[in-house]
Structure 1
Amino acid sequence: MTHRKKTTVYITRKLPDAVETRMRELFDAHLNIDDVPRTREQLLEAVQSCDVLVPTVTDVVDAELIEAAGPQLKLIASFSNGTDHIDVDAAARKGITVTNTPNVLTEDTADMTLALILAVPRRLAEGSRILMDPQTDWAGWSPTWMLGRRIWGKRIGIVGMGRIGTAVARRAKAFGLSIHYHNRKRANPQTENELEATYWDSLDQMLARVDIVSVNCPSTPATYHLLSARRLALMQPTSYIVNTARGGIIDESALIQCIREGKIAGAGLDVYEREPAVNPKLIKLAQEGKVVLLPHMGSATIEGRIEMGEKVIINIRTYFDGHRPPNRVLPGRD
């Protein structure tokens, strides 16, 4: 009896044990047990021998890497929602299909966004740090101790009213925030009515009027530095900005300057422009209690990661069974 050769799958980072075990059962899966990011040389070697590459958002799968791939590479099954780290057009030219794992991280990312929306005005990280500092002798409650700002009754401006933006809006409304949003396309009337949302065709106009800005749009060439120095300067000096999307959407240097000069009250960031590097000036602002910084953990839940892995497996199996994968990413789509 002849055994069918298993599909060779190269996985660039460590995935949850349940996902890796299933992949080993189904495929000739090459795992990254130590979770050390793969080097460029390792990726170049991998694409010359594997049938499927499973990268994450930290892997640069550009035209050069794709062009170096052997003829056996048929599928790039990304373990991610976004695909801005992959040159999808170059893959299409080479006849390689690209898939992603959409609609898994919406609720997790929205939860983390709301956590930052609460943490920054109410000074949660700063307060926690004070209690853990052995040099701080906390004297107890005082009427003027650690005063923050109320979010109930304030206006939130959501930049990007897609799935995550809408999920953030639902949570924000439950916390008494008035919903404002800017999007390429206006939300459907049912969603607007449910959220009692105000649509702004002009991002500039919205920024000048809201108390909290939540960045939830995708990373595309059109959204790079969408929150530029000019636009950040439009915000109120008592306003806050939260970003759980992609670091490059905000001009980080301009943001630091605005906060330093008191033109913006503070920020909550889960993503950074030169990630994994974090600007030392941001860290200094965090130490001063002006910003809350998280290490890109907005989507980091056990349930979410397992669901992502399951989608990767379905995409691989569907493709090699001769069908179109359910989460195929088409070229030329921002």
Structure 2
Amino acid sequence: MQCLRQVWRMTKLWTVASTSRSLKVTNLHRSMNTLQQKQQVMAEAKPWGLISEVGDEGFQESVIDIIEKHFHIICLKEFFKNPMLHGPKIQALLMWNCSPAAEPSLLSCLPSLKVVANGGVGIDHLDVPYLNSLGVKVANTPGVVSDATADMAMALLLASARMVVEGHLISVDPKTTHVPQSLLGVEVTGSTLGIIGMGNIGYKVAQRSKGFDMRILYHNRNRRSVEDEQAVGASYCEKLDDLLKESDFVVVVVNLTPDTTGLISHRELSLMKPTATLVNVSRGLVVDQDALAKALKSGTIRAAALDVTHPEPLPRDHPLLSLPNVLITPHIGTNTNATIRKMVQLMVDNALAGVKGLPLPSEVKPK
């Protein structure tokens, strides 16, 4: 009898424990389902953003997390599989390397588009008045690119002046048996630097060149404040010609506009010293490339260092590519991990503000 009571007690305890476990499992399943439902609602609540692609010429995979945190993204290739379905959902176009191109053929498929967030400062590839007429705001990413681009300008200047690439090629050439003493560069310290375009990037270049004890001249649409000038030791040249005549290094840091297209051509190059170097980190079309090739061949100027050309890349038979006194990099002025992430974050901030109808952190207004 006592044994039966013990069995009954054990059975009762097991039943209670089993029921408790069942309740816990059921509650766990309910919690998981609730979480999944919440995640689904959050995903559906995200605004849709159109991008070109991930990888290759599009966004790097390492920055996609920044966009996906706030947007449901769709790539251009996937979008064109069913534009009638996807088009009305798109509220933001996130443009990288000028893609997706904001052309009428695409814009006509995006009736809900509110904002075009461009990666980079230059917006010469965007028709801002036209986009605004459609009710679409435009933004770029100034400020966050300034340091990296200024670093690149100085890197090009130094590499060209001290013949770094030429020295490297000699050092790794299997035929090299001795170092030629004719590999002579030009002095950077104490030389005269002329900066054309004294905006954020131009001013950063001035700050860096001050460390090389360079004499700094600058030409800009508007003169900087006396405090700005004194901080870097810069002197204003009202006339571009004066800067060109006096500078050992000329760094071009302007936006591409109708006024700056072909800003440096035959006449301007002829005013420069035969020992001078031209550095361009703005846009390829700011410099007349045919005039530059002629000036480099004839010895009108010593050298050129370019992070930008037109087009990019240049045709493989372009005369600039065969000249020994030209250093060209493939528009990598902003290409650092830190800067790219800052750019994408600002793009997302602009896009979110546009979707929500709030002021854009860096909206581009038509001029």
The answer to whether the aligner puts 1:159 opposite 2:196 as a matched pair is yes
Q: Which residue, 316, 322, 326 being the options, matches 1:284?
A: 322
- 1:232-283 CA-partner distances (Å, limit 9, x unpaired): 1111111000001111110011001000000010010000022232562111
Q: Which amino acid aligns with 2:347?
A: V
Partner of 1:121: 161
For residues 208 and 119 of structure 1, the distance between their equivalents in structure 2, rounded to whole angstroms, comes to 23
The residue type equivalent to 1:281 in the other structure is: P
Deviations 1:143-195 (A, max 9, x none): x3311111111101000001100110111111121000100011110111122
SS in 1 for 2:217: strand
Q: Which runs of 5+ in 1 are unaligned?
A: 33-37
Distance in 2 of aligned mates of 1:47 and 1:230: 49
1:132 aligns with 2:169: no
The 5-angstrom pairing of residues 211-222 of structure 1 reads: 211-222=248-259
Number of equivalenced pairs: 321
The alignment partner of 1:295 has SS state of coil
Tell me the secondary structure at the aligned position of residue 208 of structure 1. Answer: helix
Share of identical aligned residues, percent?
32
Q: Hey, which bits of structure 1, 4+ residues long, moved more than 4 A?
A: 44-49
Q: Which residue identity is paired with 1:137?
A: T
Please name the residue that 1:146 is paired with: 183
- State the shift of 1:72 in Å: 1.2
SS of the residue aligned with 1:98? strand
Deviation at 1:302, TM superposition (A): 0.2
Amino acid at match of 1:83: I
Structure 1 residue aligned with 2:138: 98
Instruction: Select which of 358, 363, 366 maps to 1:323.
Output: 358
Shift of 1:60: 7.1
| Distance in 2 of aligned mates of 1:79 and 1:241 | 26
2:91 counterpart residue number: 51
Q: 1:272 aligns with which of 306, 309, 323?
A: 309
Cα contact 2:52–2:100 (8 A) shared by 1: no
CA distance change for structure 1 residues 60 and 226 in 2, over 3 Å: closer, same or farther? Answer: farther
Amino acid at match of 1:294: T
- Does the aligned pair in 2 maintain the 1:57–1:82 contact within 8 Å? no
Q: Deviations along 1:2-57, whole A, 9 cap, x unmatched?
A: 9354311111243244531232232211247xxxxx7xx89x98867622111124
Match of 1:236 in 2: 273
Task: Establish whether residue 81 from structure 1 lines up as the match of residue 121 from structure 2.
Answer: yes
User: Equivalent residue for 2:149?
Assistant: 109
**For residues 6 and 173 of structure 1, what CA distance do their matches in structure 2 show?**
47
Q: Which runs of 5+ in 2 are unaligned?
A: 1-36
Aligned residue in 2 for 1:35: none
- Quick check: 1:66–1:91 contact (8 Å CA) kept in 2? no
Match of 1:208 among 237, 245, 249: 245
CA contact (8 A) 2:92 2:355 kept: no
Deviation at 1:292, TM superposition (A): 1.0
The DSSP-based 3-state class of the residue aligned with 1:51 is: strand
2 CA distance for matches of 1:168 and 1:104? 15
Deviations 1:279-298 (A, max 9, x none): 6211111xx2x111111111
Partner of 2:73: 29
- Name the residue aligned to 2:340: 305
Deviation at 1:58, TM superposition (A): 3.2
After TM superposition, give the deviation of residue 331 of structure 1 in Å.
1.6
TM-score w.r.t. length of structure 2:
0.81
Query: Which digits, 9 at most, give the CA deviation of each residue in 1:66-121, with x for residues without a partner?
Result: 65343111111112222111111110111111111111010101111001111112
Q: Which residue of 2 aligns with 1:248?
A: 285
The answer for the alignment partner of 2:223 in structure 1 is: 186
Which has the higher Rg, Structure 1 or Structure 2?
2
Is this contact kept in 1: 2:196–2:202, CA < 8 A?
yes
Contact 2:196–2:218, Cα closer than 8 Å, also in 1: yes
Aligned to 1:6: 46
CA change 1:156–1:13 in 2 (3 A) is farther
The DSSP-based 3-state class of the residue aligned with 1:325 is: coil
Q: Which SS does the other structure have where 2:305 is aligned?
A: strand
Normalising by structure 1, report the TM-score: 0.88
The 2-side partners of 1:65 and 1:98 are apart by 18
